[in-house]
Amino acid sequence: MRSLLQRAGPGHLGVHYIVTDRDVAVIVTTAQGQIGQSRAVPRDELNRQVAALRAALATPRANPLPAAQALYQTLLAPIASSLDQVEKEARAAGRPAATLVLSLTDVLRYVPFAALHDSRQFVVERFATVLRTEAAGDPAGTSESKDWRVAAFGVTGAVSFADDQRQFAALPAVSQEVGAIVRTAATPSGALPGSITLDAEFSRSALEQALAVRGERRVVHVASHFHFAPGNEFGSYLVLGDKGKLSLADLRELNLGGVELLTLSACSTAVGGGRNERGSEVEGLGASLQTAGARSVIASLWAVADTSTAALMPSFYRSLSSADAKLDTALALRSAQLVLLRGAEEGVATSMDTRGASLVGSVVSSDSMQKIQGWAHPFYWAPFILLGRWQ
């Protein structure tokens, strides 16, 4: 980790957690060295705090601050001096924010660190975050070229499956989302040049054909439903536009060589089909896709709202592709999250249709199916996490 941070440059802090039955240990790594400490928080208490946060984030009607502040005190308050120092380094280097490179274990993999709160502000207002996976290799040092092309796939209509009796609602905002991301003759204001494949044309073969293209820096963006079945990699699947399914096992078999970034703009894609109740599946999907060739993966920790996601994703790609901003992937994701948090593009979530059918540890209740003014609640912006390489 130390050599990795040296290559990444100033403004990066490695934070590695180890959970035991009796305490939570944290090892902080900088380019200069490491320091470690532990806090006497039993595993049962940590599990309770994480469950409380996820429950508070399951609906925009709940107040997330008490749980977000309690978990901040457990996880980040003990390293406050290191956080302050890396912020100073980032400012001196001209970076808009420092980046926390997280190595997570156990139930902490279910925690959206961006949504933790220090009693003054959310972590995302101070830091970008990235989840390190061993499969990604060296997450730093990629080319600064922004000449990327994006292949976007989406499902806009309702889909149902007779074999498992699941029904997935229509996602009308997906058309808006991919149109704002992909620049074509029909969508000239899109952030990146590329192609759009929707609904019946979105099949496994179409996805594999797009992945077979070589010789360019590529982004693959998928906006659809994802059904999560705990402990079942064949029962966990991505909904395709031709009313087919792509199971977690199928996703792991894709040839993702040359894909710079794979974005799964769907629900619970970071918690898919794992067998370890302590959260190894969160890292598992990202690690599997990186092993298949993708350098970076953006996935989600819970069911995402259709309309707010359609605003966040284009904002992310605009920040990522901007030559003036010079933001890496972690900083670009943070920038897009801040747009929703601070209301720069405030809107009314007229549809709470979520991109998926189930969640780990929480369910979007019927009480939340209403119009919500603005998207400042972390329900909207915090589920998306970046795994792997960020520069």
Residue position matching structure tokens 């901003």? 325
The pairing of beta strand 148-154 with beta strand 192-198:
parallel
**305-337 as b/e: b if 16+ CB within 10 A:** bbbbbbbbbbbbbbbbbeeeeebbbbbbbbbbb
Rounded distance, CA 297 to CA 275, Å? 21
Convert the pLDDT of each residue in 54-66 to its tens digit: 999 988 889 999 9
Return the higher-pLDDT residue of 375 and 331: 331
> What's the pLDDT score for residue 354?
59
Q: How many CB atoms lie within 10 A of CB 149?
A: 16
Q: Percent of the chain scored above 90 by pLDDT?
A: 52
DSSP per-residue letters across 14-49: EEEEEE-SS-EEEEEE-SS-EEEEEE---HHHHHHH
Q: What is the pLDDT of residues 201-222, one digit of tens each?
A: 999 999 999 888 776 668 999 9
- Residues pairing with 99 in the sheet: 12, 128
Q: Read off the pLDDT of residues 72-111 as tens digits, 9 standing for 90 and up.
A: 999 999 999 999 999 999 999 999 999 999 999 888 988 9
Contacts of 206 (CB under 8 A, 6+ apart): 153, 197
Rounded distance, CA 197 to CA 242, Å? 11
**Tens-place pLDDT, residues 249-299:** 888 888 888 888 999 887 655 554 434 445 555 555 666 677 778 888 898
CA geometry: angle at 136 spanning 26 and 298, to 5°?
A: 85
> What's the sign of the alpha-carbon dihedral 100, 105, 108, 110?
positive
Confidence category of residue 367, pLDDT binned at 50, 70, 90: very low
Average pLDDT over residues 132-140: 61
Mean pLDDT of 15-30: 95
Kindly report, residue by residue over 168-180, the tens digit of the pLDDT. 889 999 999 999 9
42, 91 in Cβ contact below 8 A?
Answer: no
Return the closest-CA partner of residue 391 out of 191, 79, 103, 95.
95
CA 328 vs. chain centroid, Å, equals 15
